[in-house]
Amino acid sequence: MNDRIEEPARSIRVVHECDLCVIGGSCTGVFAAVRAARLGAKVVLIERGGAFGGVATLSLVNVWHSPLDTTYNRQIIGGLTLELIDRLRARKAVKERPRSPHYAWAFNPYEMMIELDRLVLENGITPMLHTAFVEPHVVGGKLDAVIVENKSGRTAIRAKFFVDASGDGDLAHRSGSECYKPEHGQPSTTCAVLDGWSTMAGVDLGRLLRTHGPEHTLPLGFAWGADVAGTNQYMLAATRVSGLDPSIDDELTRSEIEGRRQVAAILDIIRQNAPQAKVGLAGLPARIGLRESRHVRTEHQLTGNEVLFGQRFGDAIANGSYRVDVHHQDKPGITLQYLDGTQSYLVPGEPQVEGRWREPMATDPTFYQVPYRSIVPGHLPNLLVAGRMLDADPIAHAAVRVMVNMNQTGEAAGVASVLAMRTTGDVRTINTDQLRHDLATGGSIVI
Ligand SMILES: Cc1cc2nc3c(=O)[nH]c(=O)nc-3n(C[C@H](O)[C@H](O)[C@H](O)COP(=O)(O)OP(=O)(O)OC[C@H]3O[C@@H](n4cnc5c(N)ncnc54)[C@H](O)[C@@H]3O)c2cc1C
């Protein structure tokens, strides 16, 4: 049997010409688009799903971490993260815990979808939903256009600059960036929105999962959740899909089905062993939540030591204080490492194991930074990456991957693209002092 066909060459209609084209519409991508548009750029934003927000909305992960340093005395994150929270606050769509190490905000993901629609339209951005990037068009060593596919078939968007905010780095990968995958990438999780969570009072879910999980071939991962603000519902994240690469078609399909199977198993365990709890399944994500897949090699790989020792960078574009948070592929539970040198190992239904990953120091760092170079792939003059595919080793990635940090990489990529357009024409050679100045002018906290 001949298992290959030749696709006939075809000419493709260019449906938009713009200054900046952003691939991927999580908050990372939306924020890149908004910051560029506010600087006067004509922007097209392409999203494969039917709404903006990425993991925060389509995968129901409704939690953002603190915009303060680890002492809670210094603000280190501003910009569109705070602007979006202000908008959600006005709609009573966010619960706030400003001094918690676990999360600062638990929001309503559906209200966030609507606010992101508004943000995009108010800023004059051209949105393309249900549209997937499929191929780059490179001419003379520059990205000339991206080919996308949607209900109308294949079309092209031509732009001067491109930001890959696809999470998996699809654009960078297909346009020749060097990419890598960690040996034990962080597992994926299918979240579930539940009714009746208050009836779980007194039920030790961790112990139930520890005891009864094996009967349901449920891997012992980690279980946490948050209220869905403005409702009586609860988002539970307690599944763990390991050993499947979500950037491979078949493995992504199997991940989705396995994640939902695990949700059903958790509900069965609750119903069979805690009959007093009346928990109903009210919602499943449009897409399994992905923590990690491909990374793009850039001009600087952020390391675990740089994060944990709070390395400062002259070209810093993002600040963060969220701990290193490793969801293990190869063993149960999670490991948390803090900037003060302490660490914890947590497994559902088992005592927490406390320790140190380093000896005490005279002063501990209170935040870490991401340099601009970590979002510059460097092989094309007009491509930046933003989001979880950035260049970071496993420990660094385990901290910087959270959304309040990724949001800032998006904002920086949008502002840097406009700066390049107006000065050198090349994202690799922009003046990073000017970039930091422009970021601060637009509301970012630049340190
Ligand atoms: C279960 C779970 C719990 C987590 N918990 C937290 C937490 O509590 N707090 C926190 O801040 N972070 C948390 N994270 C991490 C965080 O959600 C991710 O690291 C972050 O969302 C990554 O953002 P991103 O913009 O890079 O990618 P994503 O949010 O994955 O967005 C990528 C976007 O690109 C689109 N896209 C992809 N490919 C294409 C294509 N070819 N064409 C067009 N569009 C495309 C996708 O549809 C998506 O909208 C969690 C993650 C998971 C999975």
Dump pLDDT digits (tens) for 359-371: 999 999 999 999 9
Average pLDDT for residues 53-68, to the nearest whole number? 98
Which helix (H) or strand (E) covers residue 16, if one does? strand 14-23
For 92-130, give one letter per residue: b (16+ CB within 10 A) or e: ebbbeeeeeeebbbbbbbbbbbbbbbebbeebebbbbbe
The residue whose two tokens read 């602007």 is: 83
Q: pLDDT band for position 2 (50/70/90)?
A: confident
Average pLDDT for residues 327-355, to the nearest whole number? 96
pLDDT score recorded for residue 98: 82
**Does ligand 1 have an atom closer than 6 angstroms to the CB of 64?**
yes
Beta strands 43-46 and 14-23: pairing type? parallel
**Does ligand 1 have an atom closer than 6 angstroms to the CB of 320?**
no
For 194-213, give one letter per residue: b (16+ CB within 10 A) or e: bbebeebeeeebbebbbebb
Å from CA of 57 to ligand 1 middle = 9
pLDDT score recorded for residue 101: 80
**Does ligand 1 have an atom closer than 6 angstroms to the CB of 60?**
no
Work out the number of other CB atoms within 10 angstroms of the CB of residue 11: 5
- Each residue of 266-275: pLDDT tens digit? 999 999 999 9
Residue 286, both tokens:
């449009």
102 pLDDT more than 90: no
Which of 116, 255, 402, 404 has most ligand 1 atoms within 8 Å of CB, for mutation?
402
Å from CA of 414 to ligand 1 middle = 18
Residue nearest to atom 53 of ligand 1 (CA): 289
The pTM of this model reads 0.98
Residue 267, both tokens:
């509900």
55 pLDDT more than 80: yes
286 pLDDT more than 90: yes
Query: For residue 210, which phi and psi values (nearest 5 degrees)?
Result: -60, -45
The residue whose two tokens read 């696709």 is: 7
Number of residues that this document lists for the chain: 447
**Does ligand 1 have an atom closer than 6 angstroms to the CB of 46?**
yes
User: In whole angstroms, what is the distance from residue 50 CA to residue 102 CA?
Assistant: 30
**Does ligand 1 have an atom closer than 6 angstroms to the CB of 44?**
no
Distances (CA, A) of 77 to 57, 239, 295: 21, 30, 24
Å from CA of 276 to ligand 1 middle = 35
Could you give the percent of the chain with pLDDT greater than 90? 97
Residue nearest to atom 17 of ligand 1 (CA): 55
